[in-house]
A and B are shown apart, each in its own frame.
Chain A
Amino acid sequence: SQELEQSPQSLIVQEGKNLTINCTSSKTLYGLYWYKQKYGEGLIFLMMLQKGGEEKSHEKITAKLDEKKQQSSLHITASQPSHAGIYLCGADIWGRGSTLGRLYFGRGTQLTVWP
């Protein structure tokens, strides 16, 4: 099965601190997706990265895909309690539109932000 390692498993930070979550694939990625999940709920799309070296930002969240397209990081600047939740990376190793198109997910990172 696709190996997608996500770290750390959990993260507890004080409000205002920066943090980084990593996602590493054993295979080259056609796409890397970042989602946020609140406990027991669905997934909220954050960002999609497809090109090696690509970097995207939305508000205080920045995601990068390395040149070799096998590792991605999600960085949150000046964290807030509203950032708390489970962050999941999803890997596309087949390419969208393929009959095998689907995502493989990491185990997630539980983020807690305390005031």
Chain B
Amino acid sequence: SAVISQKPSRDICQRGTSLTIQCQVDSQVTMMFWYRQQPGQSLTLIATANQGSEATYESGFVIDKFPISRPNLTFSTLTVSNMSPEDSSIYLCSVDTGYYTFGSGTRLTVV
């Protein structure tokens, strides 16, 4: 199974600013997935990031708000842009290397 290093683990940000979340995997993977977990809710897929191509976004999520980079097969970033309190959530990255493995999550609070 893969080991995913995700950072930051938590942050408190001012509204209107942006935060970039990083995920580093210890092996090469084709697809990386970004999820959001709003307070008291389940996980919702934001987008799927493939190396060398544009990320594929789920309904309700747009690139301007959640730009994603995937510069190589072991790394990806998710940026939460122009944040509002409604963006306060846990953000998780995930990869499939036999089963779906998740990073430790980024707990974001927007004030």
Contacts and interface: CB of A to CB of B under 8 A. Distances in A.
Nearest to A103: B100
Given A102-B33, A102-B48, A90 B100 contact: yes
A41 B105 contact: yes
Interface size class of A (residues with CB under 8 A): 20 to 34
Nearest to B4: A42
A68 interface: no
A37 to B, nearest CB: 9
Contacts of A103: 43, 45, 94, 100
Main secondary structure of the interface of B (DSSP, over half): strand
A33 B99 contact: yes
B99 A48 contact: yes
Contacts of A92: 100
A41 B10 CA distance: 10
A92 B104 CA distance: 21
B96 A101 contact: yes
Which of A43, A88, A103, A104 has the most C-beta atoms of chain B within 10 angstroms of its own C-beta?
A43
Contact of B103 (A42, A88, A96, A106): A42
A12 to B, nearest CB: 17
A92 B90 CA distance: 21
A106 B44 CA distance: 10
A40 B101 CA distance: 17
Given A96-B96, A101-B31, A102-B33, A45 B101 contact: yes
Interface of A: 33, 35, 40-43, 45, 48, 88, 90, 92, 96, 101-108
Per CB-CB distance, the 8 closest pairs between chain A and chain B, nearest first, are A42-B104, A43-B102, A42-B105, A105-B42, A105-B43, A48-B99, A107-B42, A42-B102
6 contacts: A40-B10, A41-B105, A45-B99, A92-B100, A102-B48, A103-B45
